[in-house]
Amino acid sequence: MSLVFRNTTTTPPMNRRRARDQEETLEDEPGPSKRQILSSPSSSPQDINTPLLSERSSPTPIPSLACDQDDHLQDNTLSVVSSACTELHTPSSSGASSPSSSLREGDLEDLEDNALQFDNAMSPEEIRDILKQYNVFYDKKKPIPQPLQMFIDNLGLPRNETSPNARAIAGLSYEARQEGEMTMRTMMTDPLLGVADPEGPLKYVARAQELNLKPKFNPESKVKKAVATSFPQAKPDTAFGFRNSNKAAYGAELAFTKDEEMFLDRNKLMDDSYFPFFTAQWKSELRSQTHAQALPQGARDGAVIITHLRSFFKNNVDHMGGLVSTSHFSCTLDGRSLIVWVHWFDVALDEFSMEEVASYWLGKESDMVDFRRFYRNFLDYVVGTRLAHIKGVIAKSLGELDPPDSKRRRQG
């Protein structure tokens, strides 16, 4: 019996599509291609408003400006990869898959790269131009107002003990920056920004991941509606605020009473917590992401949070609150470094500002000691002075005279 060897290698479907595209173009030369014939008569192969391929950050069309660089992308990414995997594994007419039609490693990398282009739907410059319409500015080297700067200086004062997390963070940072954004965030958030401690400063604090802030607190546009662009959806990667009873475990200590929560629920900014006071935007250098991409997102989030704070004070005690009381702090991270930012509203200029407070190397233990000292001092202020201030405002609005501290309760 003789053996007959057949060449069963076939061209993968994606390559076949490319080949068909080339054949269609060659068949119709020298006239226009079929795609050009089917396109709108008013459009040309290279519109004057469309950037050349070499000028684009990616070869795929830029999605709608409503998309954020990191937001609303996970489902898109998964669907792109999933649909392509399904296509590459589609059985032949005989019911069996050809050996070479399975998904190859190179194909998967190409698909992931294409899916990641959704992450770059809006460039930092595009977001900056939109924020400018709302008088939201960041990283302009603008001097921090003196009362706020004095407050920041006090946050750097020494503590009685050094954070035990500093060394762990420095050791973990190398592994974390080898990962994508979501994995890095999972690895670094707890040791870097802390977790709830029943006896520590975070006992009233809840952490939220990628929750939308309510659009009702978006800043107002400073340009005519005819030319204004919609304010991008505010969505911090990580946000820390005061825990509410909706998702608190039994026995968890809460910052607000039931009556106070009902009062706050009428105009809350987030679903899972109240008054977010520290937010973070993470980027992965593995995916060539940088602080430049995180900055406009952080400025966007900070402007919405400050608008909510100012609205709370104005509506309840007929004033706008102090500069420190209505300020917000955030950080941007790229796996190698961390930058702390302060956000405030400049009443005289009617604009939102975001400026750098300090920067730290995640892999340097001494830097992490400094950051953790700053951060823990800030937490002490938040769960002490700021919380008491907020509770005092609520008490005045409800006509109560009880001291704020007597109003805390436990979930149960």
Query: Could you read off the pLDDT of 328-338 as tens digits, one per residue?
Result: 999 999 989 99
The whole-number pLDDT of residue 39 equals: 38
Quickly tell me which residue has 């589609």 as its tokens. 90
pLDDT digits (tens, 9 = 90+) for 165-205: 888 898 898 998 888 899 999 999 999 998 666 567 678 89
The model's pTM is 0.69
What integer pLDDT is reported at residue 409 of this predicted model?
53
Reported residue count of the chain is 412
Domain chopping of the chain, boundaries? 59-89+99-122, 124-410
From the CA atom positions of the chain, what is the Rg in Å?
A: 26
Q: What is the pLDDT of residues 203-261, one digit of tens each?
A: 889 899 998 999 999 999 999 888 889 999 999 999 999 988 887 777 778 899 999 99
In a 10 Å sphere around its CB, with 0-12 CB exposed, 13-18 middle and 19+ buried, how is residue 94 labelled?
exposed
Beta bridge pairs of residue 254: 409
First to last CA, the chain: 81
Residues lower than pLDDT 50 in the chain: 1-21, 23-119, 318, 401, 403, 406, 412
d(CA 343, CA 112): 35
Residue-level pLDDT at 98 = 38
Helix (H) or strand (E) holding 356: strand 351-361
pLDDT of residue 235: 94
Each as own residue / partner, the long-range contacts of residues 165-170 (CB below 8 Å, 24 or more positions apart, any chain) are 165/191, 165/192, 165/194, 165/368, 165/372, 166/365, 166/368, 166/369, 166/372, 167/365, 167/368, 169/362, 169/368, 169/372, 170/362, 170/363, 170/364, 170/365, 170/368
Q: Is 274 left (phi over 0), alpha (psi -120 to 50) or beta?
A: beta
pLDDT at 252: 79
What is the SS3 assignment for 84? helix
